[in-house]
Amino acid sequence: MPGLLIKSSFFISVLLLSGCFGGGNYAPVVERQERVSTVPASHKVSAGETLYSISWRYNLDFRRLAATNGIRSPYTIFPNQKIRLLDSTKDNSRSNNQRQAVTPATKPTSKTTASSNKTKTSKPANTDAIALNRSTHPFRWQWPAKGKTLRGYSTKSAVHKGIDLQGKLGEPVHAANSGTVVYAGSGLVGYGNLLIIKHNEHYLSAYGHNRRLLVKEGELVKVGQKIAEFGDTGTDKVKLHFEIRRDGKPVNPLGLLPKG
């Protein structure tokens, strides 16, 4: 009887261990919940990043981040450049000298389509060179997709800063407002293939988990334009993760999107 009890306990332990470390229910999908919530003192630029994507990663206003580092529009940054994240604008002169000391081996000239997953050189999203004409690109919010809301915005959640919308693989994702694409890539953990659009000096919007990106960085997009396709990149199901931020801070999209 004691021997049977020992064997039973061993068998139960094996089952528990296999349940914890194996099985389809424990697929290693990286979601936003796993991201570090604290902001480090600095960030080392990786290929493909823009000042906008870095500010998005750490919930910072891109204008303040640029000022902290003495970076002027069109906000050109380079791989391996050190970006200070702490708000210390009084040290701008020292920061500017450090920035000027960073010299790229070659001037970024290669163009990469937004749908490509190849490594690309960090480049400016020159929103000053191409001004938005509001007669052709009106400032007007609309829903980025037709699917129902799977998950809403929550002020209690430190990680879910937007809404999730239902859709089928390959269905269209539309620009929720007119603006300029300031990031197109997959470098932000938990967002999959991501687009970030700058609408003016205050508002940015983001579209995550896309299967395919249809626009490039620096491209002007019009409200309602098809910019991507529904996918499941960076997550465990097909959906669109949509966020709006004002001055670097998340806001509830439902407060801006049309009712119904």
Q: Report the alpha-carbon distance of residue 52 to residue 63 in Å, rounded.
A: 9
Whether residue 113 is contained in a domain is answered as: no
Are the CB atoms for 197 and 215 separated by under 8 Å? Answer: no
Are the CB atoms for 194 and 124 separated by under 8 Å? Answer: no
* pLDDT reading at 1 higher than 80: no
How many other CB atoms sit within 10 Å of the CB of residue 73?
A: 14
Greater confidence (2 vs 140) lies with 140
Greater confidence (102 vs 51) lies with 51
Q: Which of 85, 101, 117 is the last residue of a domain?
A: 101
pTM, 2 dp: 0.71
172 and 242 together in one domain: yes
94 and 175 together in one domain: no
157 and 243 together in one domain: yes
Whether residue 83 is contained in a domain is answered as: yes
251 and 156 together in one domain: yes
Q: Which residues contact 85 (CB under 8 A, 6 or more apart)?
A: 39, 40, 41, 42, 43, 58, 60, 65, 68
163 and 244 together in one domain: yes
In which domain, by residue range, is 209 found? 149-255
How many distinct structural domains can be found in the chain? 2
Whether residue 68 is contained in a domain is answered as: yes
Confidence of residue 130 (pLDDT cuts 50, 70, 90): low
What are the structure tokens assigned to 20, written together? 């914890």
Q: 175: domain CATH number?
A: 2.70.70.10
94 and 153 together in one domain: no
Confidence of residue 39 (pLDDT cuts 50, 70, 90): confident
Whether residue 197 is contained in a domain is answered as: yes
> For 149-168, what is the mean pLDDT?
86
Whether residue 129 is contained in a domain is answered as: no
167 and 242 together in one domain: yes
Whether residue 11 is contained in a domain is answered as: no
Q: What is the pLDDT of residues 171-209, one digit of tens each?
A: 999 999 999 999 999 999 889 999 999 999 999 999 999
177 and 97 together in one domain: no
Residue 74, preceding peptide bond in cis (omega within 30° of 0) = yes
Q: 49: domain CATH number?
A: 3.10.350.10
* pLDDT reading at 242 higher than 90: yes
160 and 79 together in one domain: no
Q: Report the alpha-carbon distance of residue 187 to residue 75 in Å, rounded.
A: 18
178 and 238 together in one domain: yes
The per-residue pLDDT for 8 is 46
236 and 177 together in one domain: yes
Whether residue 48 is contained in a domain is answered as: yes
177 and 250 together in one domain: yes
Whether residue 13 is contained in a domain is answered as: no
